[in-house]
Structure 1
Amino acid sequence: MHILIKLKIPTLAAISKNCINWTFVFHFYPQQSSPSSFPLTRFHTTMSSTKQEGEVVTSVLSSEQAAELYDVKSRDLAMEKADEAAQLEVDPSSNRRLVWKIDLILLTVISLVSAFQYMDKSSSNYASVMGIKTDLKMVGNQYSWVGTSFYLGFLVFEAPCSWTLQRLPLSKITSAYIIAWGLLLCLTSLVKSYPTFILTRTLLGVLESSITPAMVLFMSQWYKKDEQFFRTSILIACNAVGGLVGASVSYRLYERQLAGTLSMDAWRILFIIVGLITIVTGLMVLFIIPDTPSQAWWLNKTEKLLAIQRIRSNKQGFGNRHFKKEQVYEALVDPRLYLYFFLQVAVAIPNGGFSNFSALMIAGLGYGKGKALLMGMPTSAVSIIGMILFGYLSTIRNRRLDIAFAGLALNLISGCLMAFAKPLHAQLAGYYIFGISPIPYTCILSMVASNSAGHSKKVFMGAISMIGYCTGNLIGPQTFRESQAPHYQGAKTAIVACYCIAFLILAAIYIVNVRENKRRDALDERLPADMLNSEFADLTDFQNPEFRYAI
C-alpha cells in the first residue's frame, strides 16, 4: 500500500509581491517496504501566478507505481546515516573537540590550496617585473590580456566545472583539477611566444575555475552557518600567505638573475616552483579530504555521526549527485542570484586589475623593480591580519553583512588614497589597505554556502556568482591602459566607483534577507511533523518554511 499526499503551499516570492504556489508531492512508504526510514523520497514542484487555498488530496497507488516513483537519487548523501546520527546529542565539549579536529585537518589542507592558488594566479604579476614582457616581446596593451585571458577561461568553464563538482566525488575531482593545473604551470616554463603564454593562462583559468566552488561545497558540508564566515575568512587570508611566499621567492630569483647565477630565466623557474608545489597540494587533497564527512578516515564512527548531527541545523545536508532542474528554475527567480552576480562584478573589477598590475603600480611610485616586489608584501600582511580579525568579529556578533559593510568602507578609503592622494606615502598606504579588499568577496562565498539550500540550487548559485567574479576580473585589467602608465589614474578612479556601487548592492542583499526572515517569522509555517529527517531532504530555502537567511 502506498499513500500519496499532495499539498499546495502558498508562499511569497522574494523577487516581487506576486504570490507563487509551490506544489509538493510527498510519497510515504510503509517502514517495512522502503529501503530507507525516511518517508519523503521524491517531490515535484509547479508554480501558479495566483494564490489558491491549501488543499490535501490522498489517493492509493499500486506497488508498481510506488516503485516507479521511489527515487533514491534524490536523497541527500547524509541520509543513510541520518537516523543513526539523530540518536546522538552534540554537547558543547564534543562539538569543540570535533570542530578543532576538522579545523586542524580539513581547514589546513584547503587553506594550503587557497594560498597556492593565489600564488599561481599572481605568478604573471611577479613575472612582469622579472623580464617576461621583454622575453615574450609584449607591446602596448598585450600584458593586460594576460590577466583577462585567465578569467576568460575561468568564465567559459565555470558552469560545466560546477556541474562536475556535483556529479562526481567532490574530493577526487577537485584534486584532479589541482594536479592538472600544477602540471600546466610547470609546462608554462617552456613557452617561447606570447600566443603560447596566453594559451597556458587561459587553460589555467579553465582548471582553477573549480576551486572556489569546491571550497563553498566543503564549507557547507563540514561547518554550521555561524562557523562558515570565519573559516572562509581564513581561506581568503591564506591567499595573502600565498602572496607573501610568491613575492619572497620572486625577489630571491630576481636577485640571482641580476647576479647572473641562474641557468634559465627567473620567471621560468618561478613557474616550475609554484607548479610543483601545486601538484603536491593536489595529492594532499586526494589522500586527506574525503568526498563527504561520513567517509573521513581520520574520524571515528561516533565523530562521523556527530559531524552529520552538527550540520542538521543548516537544513542543507551534504548534497547529492542528482542534478535537479527545478532547483535551477527556482534560483532564476531568486533575487539573491542577481545581487550576488553584480556584487561580484563590482568587487572583482578592482581585484582583477590590482592582482595583475600591483607590482607595476608600486614601481610607478618611484621604486625599483626588485624593491617593488618587496614593497607589495605589506599588503599581504595587512590582508592576513585584517581577514582573520574581521572573520573573528563575525563569530562574536554573528552578522556577516555588518562585517562586509565595514570592509567595503575600508576598500573605499583605500581606493580614494590611491586615486586622489597627492603624497606618495599616502598612495602607498592605499595600496596596503587594499589588503582588506577580499572581505565583500568572502561575504558572498559564505552567503552562497549558508543561504542557498538545495544542492543543485547551491551549485548553480555558486556558478553564477563566480561568473560575476570572472566578469569583473576580465574587465579589471582592461581599465589599466598603457597610455596612462605608470600611474594608471583611470583604473584607480574605476576602483572607487566600483566600491560605491558595491555598497548599494550589499544594502539590497541586507534588505531582501531581513524582510524575508520577518515575513517567515510572522507566518510561522512548519513542515509536517511526521516528515522525518527533513534537514536532509535536499529542500531548497524556498521550499522549506523553517529556513532562515543568515544576515
Structure 2
Amino acid sequence: MDEKDDQISHSASISSREEKNIQATDVQPIISFTKDLIGDSNVITTVMSPHGEEVPVTGDVDDAMKLALEAEELQLTPEEDRKLVRKIDLCMFPLMCLLYAVQFMDKITNGNAAVMGLVTSLHMHGEQYSWVGSAFYFGYLGGLFVLPPLMQKAKYFMKTVSAIIILWGMVLALHSAPTVNYASFIFLRCLLGFLESAITPAFTIITSQYWKKEEQFLRICIWFSFNGFGGIWGSSMAYGLYIRQSTYSIEAWKIVFIATGCITIFVGFLMAIHLPDSPEKAWFLTHREKLLLVQRIRGNQQGFGNHHIKKKQIIEALIDPRTWLYFLYSFAADIPNGGMTNFMSILFKEDFQFDTKQTLLVDMGPAAVEWVSLPFFGLLSYYCYTRKFKILESRILWSTFTTAVVFIGTCMLAFADDNKQARLAGICLMYIAPIAFICTLACVSANTLGYTKKWTVSSINLLGYCAGNIVGPQTFKEAPYTGAKIAMVVCYGACIFILLALYVLNVKENRRRDKAAMENKQPLIENIEFADLTDFENPYFRYTL
C-alpha cells in the first residue's frame, strides 16, 4: 500500500449519527475524503448502491464537500436553525418571487395585447394567433438544450442567469416594434421563449441548495404563486393603459410590451447585484452560517452542485421511470395551461361576451386564486408534515387531490353551457392546477440526486411542459371552443392517474430500500451526502412522497 492509499484508509470514518450497535463485521466499504483529495479524479473507494451494485466514488464531488469537512464538528441547534432559515428566506425569497411574477406577466402580455388590438394591428387571421402562443414554447424547447448545460458549467451561475434575464427583457420590449410584420413577431416570441427557458430550472436548483427537502415544496409553492401576482399586475397595468389609450402617441398594446420589458431588465440587474452565485459565496451569510447551512441540508443527501457534466448521470436520468412520469404529467397538464394562458382573455371576450375593459378586470380573478391558493396548500402540506399526520403529509397526494378539484372545475367550464357563473367558477378552480406542477418541480429538486442528473431530469420535465404548451393553443379553433374544453377535461383526468403512479412507485422503492437496509445493516458513511451520487447510487436516500 502506497502513502496515498494509506492516507485514504486512515481517513475513513463512520458517522456517529448512525452508531447504533454496529459491529465491525457489519461495516461495508467506507468512503473517505480528505481535504487534499478534493478534486482528485482517481477512484477513492466504492459504496454498495440500493440495487446491489458497487458504485465508484471519485474526488469529483459536490461543491459543498470542502465546507462539509470543515463543519463536521459543528452542532446545529434548533435556535440556530430557525435563525438561519429565516435569514435565507428574507435575503433570497423576495427577489425570487418578484422575478417569477415578472416572468408570468411577460407571458400574459400576449393575451392582454390580443384584446387590446395586437391581432388587428398585425393583420392576423385564421389560426395565426394560435401559433403566436405556440411559438414561445418552440423557443423554450430549443433553450432547454442550450441554457441548462450552460448554467451547470457556469462558474458565475447567478450572473449568467441575470444576463439571460436582461436579454429577455430587451427582447420583450422589442415586441412593440413590428407593425404589420407577423413573421418578425413570431421570431421575437421564439427568442423570448428561448431565453425564459433558463428560469424554472435555475430556481429549482437554487431551492435544492438552500432549503431542506421537506421545506422545498412550500418554498416552490410560494415563489410559483407569484405567477398570480404577475397576472394581477399585468392585467391591471394593461387595463390602466387601455382606458387612457387615446392620450398616447403609440398603441396601448405596444406600451404593455415596452413597460413589462423595462421592468424585466430592472429586475435582472437587481438579481445580478443581490443574489449570490452559490451558497458558499452568499454575502449575507457569515462563514459559520455557511458551515451550518451545509449541516442543515445533509438530510437532502445532496449539496450545492457539481460543474462537470457526467455522461453516466445523463444515462441514468433517461432510464429512470420517474423522469418520464414527470414528463407525461407536464405534457398533459400544460395542454390546458398553454391554451388558457394565451386564450383566457379571448375566451372571456368571445365566449362570455365581456367587453375589453371587463375582460382585463375579470382576468385578475383567476390570477388572485392562484396567488392565494398555492401558498395555502403548501402551508397545509407542511403543517401536516410537522404534525406527523402520516398520509396527509404527502405532497403527491395533496397534488392529486387538487388536480381532482381542477378536473371538476374543467368539467364546469366545459359542460355548464347555460350557466355563465358556473363556467366562471370553473375557470377560477382551474387556477389551482399549478399545485401538481409544483409537486413535480419539488420532486425533481428533492428526489433527484446527482447534479448532472438533476439538470437532465429538470430539462426533460420542461420538455413535456413545452410540448403541452405548444399543443394547447392549437386546441382552440373557434368560439365557443368546445373541443379545447373537452381536451382539457381529458388531460386533467390523465394527470390524476400519473400522479398516483408516481406515488406508488416511490412508496414501493422506499419500502424495498428499508428492507435491504435492515438486512445489510450498512452504516451511514460520513459525508456521502456530498459525493455527488445519484438517487440510484446512494443507499441512504429515501424518496420524499
Tell me the number of residue pairs that the alignment of Structure 1 and Structure 2 aligns: 510
1:410 aligns with 2:398: no
Distance 1:374 1:524 in 2: 57
CA contact (8 A) 2:48 2:54 kept: no
CA contact (8 A) 2:524 2:540 kept: no
Q: Helix, strand or coil: the match of 1:129? A: helix
State which of 503, 508, 512 in structure 1 corresponds to 2:505: 512
Instruction: Please list, as runs of the form range in 1=range in 2, the aligned pairs for 1:419-434 lying within 5 A after superposition.
Output: 419-421=414-416, 422-434=418-430
Instruction: Please list, as runs of the form range in 1=range in 2, the aligned pairs for 1:75-154 lying within 5 A after superposition.
Output: 75-154=61-140
Which residue of structure 2 lines up, in the alignment, with residue 337 of structure 1?
323
Shift in CA distance, 35/370, structure 1 to aligned 2, threshold 3 Å: same
Letter in 2 for 1:496: V
Shift in CA distance, 92/143, structure 1 to aligned 2, threshold 3 Å: same
CA contact (8 A) 2:30 2:47 kept: no
Q: CA offsets per residue over residues 109-165 of structure 1, 9 Å max, x none?
A: 111111000000111011001100000000000000011000000011212211012
Distance 1:213 1:38 in 2: 26
State which of 237, 250, 253 in structure 2 corresponds to 1:264: 250
1:234 aligns with 2:228: no
Letter in 2 for 1:216: T
Instruction: Please list, as runs of the form range in 1=range in 2, the aligned pairs for 1:5-24 lying within 5 A after superposition.
Output: none
Distance 2:208 2:432 in 1: 24
Distance 1:547 1:46 in 2: 13
Instruction: Please list, as runs of the form range in 1=range in 2, the aligned pairs for 1:99-248 lying within 5 A after superposition.
Output: 99-168=85-154, 169-192=156-179, 193-248=181-236
1:374 aligns with 2:367: no
1:285 aligns with 2:286: no
Which residue of structure 1 lines up, in the alignment, with residue 21 of structure 2?
none
Instruction: Please list, as runs of the form range in 1=range in 2, the aligned pairs for 1:428-507 lying within 5 A after superposition.
Output: 428-481=424-477, 484-485=478-479, 487-507=480-500
State the Cα distance separating 1:3 from its structure 2 match. 3.8
Distance 1:401 1:327 in 2: 25
CA contact (8 A) 1:25 1:43 kept: no
Q: CA offsets per residue over residues 246-304 of structure 1, 9 Å max, x none?
A: 000000111111xx111111111111111111111111111111111121111112211
Distance 1:457 1:263 in 2: 51
Which residue of structure 2 lines up, in the alignment, with residue 62 of structure 1?
none
State which of 521, 527, 530 in structure 2 corresponds to 1:533: 527
1:306 aligns with 2:292: yes
Instruction: Please list, as runs of the form range in 1=range in 2, the aligned pairs for 1:312-323 lying within 5 A after superposition.
Output: 312-323=298-309
Instruction: Please list, as runs of the form range in 1=range in 2, the aligned pairs for 1:40-59 lying within 5 A after superposition.
Output: 42=43
CA contact (8 A) 1:527 1:544 kept: no
CA contact (8 A) 1:179 1:279 kept: yes
TM-score by structure 2 length?
A: 0.89
State the Cα distance separating 1:418 from its structure 2 match. 0.6
Distance 2:516 2:57 in 1: 32
Shift in CA distance, 47/530, structure 1 to aligned 2, threshold 3 Å: closer
CA contact (8 A) 1:26 1:40 kept: no
CA contact (8 A) 1:352 1:473 kept: yes
State the Cα distance separating 1:87 from its structure 2 match. 2.0
Which residue of structure 2 lines up, in the alignment, with residue 542 of structure 1?
536
CA contact (8 A) 2:39 2:61 kept: no
1:346 aligns with 2:342: no
Distance 2:521 2:165 in 1: 41
Q: CA offsets per residue over residues 369-400 of structure 1, 9 Å max, x none?
A: 11111011110111111101001011022310
Letter in 2 for 1:476: G
CA contact (8 A) 1:40 1:537 kept: no
Shift in CA distance, 368/390, structure 1 to aligned 2, threshold 3 Å: same
Which residue of structure 2 lines up, in the alignment, with residue 391 of structure 1?
378
Q: Helix, strand or coil: the match of 2:62? A: coil
Shift in CA distance, 491/83, structure 1 to aligned 2, threshold 3 Å: same
State the Cα distance separating 1:195 from its structure 2 match. 0.6
Shift in CA distance, 128/284, structure 1 to aligned 2, threshold 3 Å: same
CA contact (8 A) 2:63 2:305 kept: yes
Gaps of 5+ in 2: 9-27, 385-392
CA contact (8 A) 1:183 1:276 kept: yes
Shift in CA distance, 491/25, structure 1 to aligned 2, threshold 3 Å: farther
State the Cα distance separating 1:328 from its structure 2 match. 1.0
CA contact (8 A) 1:130 1:267 kept: yes
CA contact (8 A) 2:316 2:453 kept: yes
CA RMSD of aligned residues (A): 2.6
Segment drifting more, 281-290 vs 336-345 = 281-290
Distance 1:273 1:224 in 2: 37
Letter in 1 for 2:530: F
CA contact (8 A) 1:39 1:532 kept: no
State the Cα distance separating 1:177 from its structure 2 match. 0.9
CA contact (8 A) 1:527 1:546 kept: no
TM-score by structure 1 length?
A: 0.88
Using CA pairs under 8 Å that are at least 6 residues apart, name the structure with larger relative contact order, 1 or 2: 2
State the Cα distance separating 1:38 from its structure 2 match. 10
State the Cα distance separating 1:432 from its structure 2 match. 1.4
Shift in CA distance, 134/542, structure 1 to aligned 2, threshold 3 Å: same
